[in-house]
Amino acid sequence: MKEISIQQVEDLAKLARLGLTEQEKTSIAKEMTEILNYAQSLNEVNTENVQPTNQVTGLDNVFRIDQKIDSDIPIESRLGNTPSVEDNFIKVKKVLD
């Protein structure tokens, strides 16, 4: 079976913005390898006569129609507690480069 490398753990940690110690990286690499090996072992299970299932509870999703609700509260009052406002919108820090 394939083993997860420390470099792969570091790459994932960078994407998730996690700071990991060397001990944590080693531990996570080992745990991830075990998880993937277990998942791979499920491919050996005989499922030839098993019907595919995508919903085991029998429940359906309940959806509602999106509706605009007009408010009597003035926009200035609604935006009053926000740290920064620009053109009646809440201004936030840039998330993506």
**Model confidence at 97: pLDDT above 70:** yes
pTM of the model: 0.50
Domain that residue 26 falls in: 6-44
Give the single-character DSSP code of 86.
Answer: E
Q: Is residue 1 a part of any domain in this protein?
A: no
pLDDT at position 14 is 95
Q: What is the pLDDT of residues 28-43, one digit of tens each?
A: 999 999 999 999 988 8
Cα separation of 19 and 13, whole Å?
7
Q: What is the pLDDT of residues 44-83, one digit of tens each?
A: 889 899 888 877 787 888 898 999 888 888 888 888 889 8
**Model confidence at 1: pLDDT above 70:** no
Q: Is residue 33 a part of any domain in this protein?
A: yes
Q: Is residue 59 a part of any domain in this protein?
A: no
The strand pair at 85-86 and 89-90 is best described as: antiparallel
Number of domains in the chain: 1
Q: Is residue 25 a contact partner of residue 5, using CB atoms and an 8 Å limit? A: no
Task: For residue 86, give Cα distances in angstroms to 10, 75, 77.
Answer: 39, 12, 14
Q: Is residue 79 a part of any domain in this protein?
A: no
CATH number of the domain that 17 lies in? Answer: 1.10.20
Q: Is residue 49 a part of any domain in this protein?
A: no
